Amino acid sequence: MALDNLIDGRAIATQIQRELTARVAELKTKGIVPGLAFVRVGEDPASKVYVGRKEKACAELGIVSETHVLPEATSEADLLALLARLNAAGHLHGILVQAPLPKQIRESVIYSSVLPEKDVDGFHPVNVGKLMLGDETGFKPCTPAGVVELLIRSGVKTSGAEVVILGRGNIVGKPMAAMLCQKGGRANSTVTICHSATKDIKAHCRRADIIVAAIGVAEFVKADMVKPGAIIMDVGVNRVPDATAKSGTKLVGDVAFAEVQPIAGRITPNPGGVGPMTIAMLLQNTVRAAEAKL
């Protein structure tokens, strides 16, 4: 019998995009067309795919996007010069610089140089600070914001829940913890972050009501690490060899899905779980940035 414990990220993202359509239409009656700039440096294959998906989602919603592609050898100064132009452009309400960036470019310098009010990625220190403070006027990073939205729209009780986050990165792990420990109806969880120096990750995972896996290791979360009934949110995107695939590789998450699904209360498929929500949250942040101009 097929299990029906999936959290359908595609369906929930579609629902959010439908809600945003009305807001974009309202903006257009006031003469505002939301505008978003993508910046991609180099030819990282995954970044190409991600930016392509985001461009398509913008076009479907009526957000006008433009993509700036710079060579791998671009200097930090040249990227900063481009950002200064995009910051000053009146038709652009959001700017997204796709990570990872080449080694000669410091991500912290770049993310500090996007105007906070155009920082729809939520990576500028002002927005990171607002997230920590529980100040809802800031922009929140899209992937962890998407995880929270999935939990809420799936009716998962986060208040008082023991949440274990695997991974302490700036894009997912750390902001995820900040969101879920906030006081209030959308969070109120007890949060543990596990990382490479954690002594007994399995023991932490086994007492979790909710696991958010963002550790970047293919199929890291195994069945014996999961408490029966736990909620499993799989953020991972890992390319692994697959002799049966035409390309010779396939994408898998940070969760060993086939063995964990029967034990989990609810679980995100991967793909089709958190990924579509990252895009939905980017669209939402961009619409909000445009609405601030009303």
Q: Which residues bind ligand GUN (CB under 6 A)?
A: 96-99, 121, 142-143, 171, 278
Cis preceding-peptide flag for 271 (omega within 30 of 0): yes
* AA letter at 282: L
Angle among Cα 42, 48, 51 to the nearest 5 degrees reads 115
Cβ proximity to ligand GUN, 98 vs 261, nearer residue = 98
Has 44 been annotated as catalytic?
Answer: no
Least distance from ligand GUN to the Cβ atom of residue 152, Å: 20
- Among residues 17, 118, 119, 121, the one annotated as catalytic is 121
Least distance from ligand GUN to the Cβ atom of residue 244, Å: 28
Q: Tokens for 107?
A: 């991500």
Distance CA 266, CA 202 (A): 19
Cβ proximity to ligand GUN, 110 vs 163, nearer residue = 110
Distance between terminal CA atoms of the chain? 52
Angle between helices 274-291 and 9-29 (to 10 degrees): 10
Cβ proximity to ligand GUN, 121 vs 209, nearer residue = 121
Least distance from ligand GUN to the Cβ atom of residue 210, Å: 21
Cβ–Cβ under 8 Å, residues 192 and 165: yes
- Among residues 17, 54, 234, 261, the one annotated as catalytic is 54
Distance CA 278, CA 96 (A): 13
The residue nearest ligand GUN at its CB is: 99
Cβ proximity to ligand GUN, 143 vs 270, nearer residue = 143
Least distance from ligand GUN to the Cβ atom of residue 271, Å: 15
Has 121 been annotated as catalytic?
Answer: yes
Query: How do the residues of the chain divide into helix, strand and coil, expressed in percent and rounded to 5?
Result: 40, 15, 45
Cis preceding-peptide flag for 102 (omega within 30 of 0): no
Angle among Cα 41, 60, 39 to the nearest 5 degrees reads 10
Angle among Cα 138, 142, 143 to the nearest 5 degrees reads 140
Least distance from ligand GUN to the Cβ atom of residue 111, Å: 9
- Among residues 17, 98, 261, 284, the one annotated as catalytic is 98
Cβ proximity to ligand GUN, 7 vs 171, nearer residue = 171
Cβ–Cβ under 8 Å, residues 58 and 290: no
Has 98 been annotated as catalytic?
Answer: yes
Residues labelled as active-site residues: 54, 98, 121
